[in-house]
Amino acid sequence: MMGVNTTSVEFFILLGLSKGPHLQMFLFFLFLLFYIVIVIGNLLIIITVKVDPRLHSPMYFFLSNLSMVDLCYSSVTAPKMLVDILCEAKTISFNGCIAQLFFFHFFGCTEIFLLTVMAFDRYVAICNPLHYMTIMNQRVCTLLVAASWSGGAVHSTAQTLLTIRLPFCGPNRIDHFFCDVPPVLKLACTNTYITGVLIVSNSGLISLICFLLLLVSYSAILITLRLRSSEGKQKALSTCAAHLTVVTFFFGPCIFIYTRPSTSFPIDKIVSVFYAVITPMLNPIIYTLRNAEVKAAIRKLGRGRTFGDDK
């Protein structure tokens, strides 16, 4: 019976964030606003980086890829969540649930690796500026982005296989607003302890190790900045502060959720909102508000001026 899936459940019922009708309507308009900001903000960054030659550098190449991931990542959960708020029956098919789980972890893990790559890029730019363009050449940047996407695919495939091999034969009410591994595991008709340990080894360790690498990277950057002039230090700190803000909002909730999948707390759904919806919305806001070059390029794009014209 170990290798045989005896699933008889055809669909799951998502319990969502709230059952109160007034609160649900408030959440609908709130998350609709969030999703509109996510789509417009990230598309704006992607287009601006693409058309402005002055932003054709490794940092903005990684930023445009991060925006693409955020756009896809939020689209895995937000549209379905908005529809469910308005529907009485919040159902999702078994195959749809597994697909949502796969793509959620695919784009989520890709974002983790991209944020780590962006920290490495800032480390090289600040700690080894004379060799920056040699180290972070176009080939290296492309390989790093490809490795991030490939790592996300490997991770999500492992998570999906660990979940889909389990038998689901009765309970089908998921206490969440989307299909994720921890709440889905609770519905399996078997002992999921070993699967839970494997998930900690996968999702939990990836989040924790990448977060520690980020801390090491930024610690080295802060030490290096102590020797810089005040003007150069301020610009570097501004860029790093934006990255650290994104990292905090994303990695904190991920580590909280995925380093203990066998247990759950009532606050878990609220925490999940941060990395599923809030962070993809904040990324374009944080990176544009704290970056003069991106703001100038967006203003020029809005005026319809030629990007080759610096006047």
Residues 287, 278: Cα–Cα separation, whole Å: 14
118, 115, 148: which is closest to 136 by C-alpha? 118
3 state SS for 212-278: HHHHHHHHHHHHHHCCCCHHHHHHHHHHHHHHHHHHHHHHHHHHHHHCCCCCCCCCHHHHHHHHHHH
Instruction: Report the alpha-carbon angle 87-38-114, nearest 5.
Output: 120
Q: Minimal CA–CA distance to 39: which of 3, 73, 1, 4? A: 73
Residue 4 inside a domain? The answer is no
Residues 2, 244: contact at Cβ < 8 Å? no
Residue 217 clears pLDDT 70, i.e. is over it: yes
Domain count, the chain: 1
Q: Is residue 1 included in any domain, yes or no?
A: no
173-174 vs 91-93, strand pairing mode: unpaired
Question: What is the model's pLDDT at position 4?
Answer: 47
Pairing of strands 173-174, 11-14: parallel
CATH number of the domain where residue 184 is located: 1.20.1070.10
pTM reported for the whole predicted model:
0.89
Range 8-35 average pLDDT: 87
Query: Is 5 within the bounds of a domain?
Result: no
Sheet holding 173-174, edge to edge: 91-93, 11-14, 173-174
Q: Nearest CA to 81 among 28, 13, 19?
A: 28
Q: What is the pLDDT of residues 35-68, one digit of tens each?
A: 999 999 999 999 999 988 888 899 899 999 999 9
Segment 69-79 shows an average pLDDT of: 94
User: What per-residue confidence (pLDDT) applies to 3?
Assistant: 45
Task: Examine residue 7 and state whether it is found in any structural domain, yes or no.
Answer: no
Q: Quick check: is 38 in a domain? A: yes
**Domain of residue 135, residue span:** 12-303
pLDDT digits (tens, 9 = 90+) for 3-19: 445 567 888 999 888 77
Least confidently predicted of 29-33, 114-118, 186-190: 186-190
Six-digit token pair at 84?
């469910």
pLDDT category of residue 94 using cuts at 50, 70 and 90: very high
- The residue that leads in pLDDT, 291 or 29, is 29
Q: Is residue 3 part of a domain?
A: no
> Does residue 310 sit within a domain?
no
Separation between Cα atoms, residue 33 and residue 13, nearest integer Å:
25
Q: Is the pLDDT of residue 188 over 80?
A: yes
- What's the rounded Cα separation, in Å, for the pair 266 and 245? 25
Residue 97 lies inside a defined structural domain of this protein: yes
Joined tokens for residue 117: 């790559």
Q: Which secondary-structure segment (H or E) carries 90?
A: none
Pick the more confident residue, 20 or 17.
Answer: 17
Query: What are the tens digits of pLDDT across the range 97-153?
Result: 999 999 999 999 999 999 999 999 989 988 888 899 999 999 999 999 999 999 999
Rounded-to-integer distance, Cα 195 and Cα 186, Å? 11
Q: Are 174 and 15 in contact (CB under 8 A)?
A: yes
